Amino acid sequence: MSSNLEITRKACVVGWPIAHSRSPIIHKFWLTHLGLAGSYDSVAVTPPDFVAFAHDLAANGFVGANVTIPHKQTAFEVCGKVTPTAASLGAVNTLWLEHGALCGDNTDVAGFLAALDEEAPGWDRAEGHAVVLGAGGAARAVVHALRHRGKRVLLANRTRARAESLATDAGAGVEVYDWARLPSALKGASLLVNTTSLGMKGHPALDIDLAPLPPHAVVNDIVYFPLETALLRAAKSRGLRTVSGVGMLLHQAAPGFERWFGVRPSVTPELRGLVEADVLKSL
Ligand code: ATR
């Protein structure tokens, strides 16, 4: 009797464009493997329609949603309640409802840290600062995460003014470096993170000399399309530990799934393989 009355919970990822999102693969995998009655699909919503979509989320039968480009800032603005992380970033990638009120979190921060913890354990105890390349939305999440773990951050971006604005918002412990001075920033660094679109398929490669990095440094490229960027290849050939962008993609999905469907899902090798195969297929 109760199974007939069981509500099939419905969630989605909303963006514009949305066709290439891997989120449905991840959430459908968890729903199937956990034997839960639920659905998760992609919804294409244009910027002028996003506010109405968010307001009507419950009316349209959704228990929540992931939000991706270009709606993360608007999603933050329409929420009645946000987590401290989302408040610090001014951006929301996960929506859910509490007593009808729209709530938001930014799980990119936790996803980034979980991927590093899993794939490069001990990274945050190694001596040295972090170097972050880029100053867009992804860089904001990464810098916030690194400061949360107490890492000093040297930030370099093609457009220096954007890095300065990020550093001002982030507060103490973040220093802006000119891109041209990267070799000296890399000296003594324990972590290098690329958050720019350089290295992504269809974009120029990120061409920097990794020689100044110490041998214990970890190189993390949050680009996952392709799975192994030229930056990661260069780091591996120097014998450095590397972390690809797939881990962050997988781990950022878990908190939303738990809020909507009530079970904390695991990032398993099987799930990783499934997502990596999908990336390879579309390259
Ligand atoms: P996201 O929100 O996903 O981080 P974004 O806001 O478009 O995306 O940011 C992209 C990042 O890649 C920026 O740091 C951008 O540098 P600028 O702020 O100077 O635009 C960086 N980027 C993109 N193309 C680049 C290029 N050819 N050389 C150097 N940096 C580049």
Element (H, E) at 88: helix 84-89
DSSP state of 216: T
Pocket residue to mutate for ligand 1, from 132, 155, 158, 221, most atoms within 8 A of Cβ: 158
23-34 vs 269-282: helix axis angle to the nearest 10? 150
Residue 166 Cα to ligand 1 middle (Å)? 13
Q: Which residues line ligand 1 (CB under 6 A)?
A: 134-139, 157-159, 162, 195-198, 204
d(CA 141, CA 134): 11
Q: What is the pLDDT of residues 227-277, one digit of tens each?
A: 999 999 999 999 999 999 999 999 999 999 999 999 999 999 999 999 999
Which residue is closest in CA terms to ligand 1's atom 30?
Answer: 158
Which tens digit of pLDDT belongs to each residue from 76-130?
999 999 999 999 999 999 999 999 999 999 999 999 999 999 999 999 999 999 9
236 is catalytic: no
Which residue puts its alpha carbon closest to atom 28 of ligand 1?
158
Q: Do domains 2-106+253-282 and 110-243 have the same CATH topology?
A: yes
Cα of 139 from ligand 1 centre, angstroms = 9
Q: 2-106+253-282 maps to which CATH number?
A: 3.40.50.10860
Give the Cα separation of 227 and 273 in Å (integer): 11
Please give the structure tokens belonging to residue 195. Answer: 């958050």
- On the 0-12 / 13-18 / 19+ scale of CB atoms within 10 A, 215 is exposed
* Closest of 33, 27, 34, 29 to residue 10, by C-alpha: 27
Topology of domain 110-243, CATH: Rossmann fold (3.40.50)
- Helices H, strands E: what count in the chain? 12, 12
Query: Residue 12 forms beta bridges with which residues?
Result: 41, 65
> Atom 4, ligand 1: which residue's CA is nearest?
136
Pocket test for ligand 1, best of 108, 159, 196 (most atoms within 8 A of CB): 196
CA distance 53 to 83: 21
Query: Which of 126, 58, 66 minimizes the C-alpha distance to 95?
Result: 66
pLDDT digits (tens, 9 = 90+) for 53-87: 999 999 999 999 999 999 999 999 999 999 999 99
Which residue's CA lies nearest to atom 11 of ligand 1?
196
At residue 40, φ and ψ (nearest 5 deg) are -150, 115
Of 28, 72, 151, 236, which residue is the catalytic one? 72
What residues contact 78, with CB distance under 8 A and at least 6 apart?
A: 51, 54, 55, 102
3-state secondary structure of 174: strand
d(Cα 233, Cα 208) in Å, to the nearest integer?
12
Domain ranges of the chain: 2-106+253-282, 110-243
pLDDT digits (tens, 9 = 90+) for 17-51: 999 999 999 999 999 999 999 999 999 999 999 99
- Is the pTM higher than 0.75? The answer reads yes
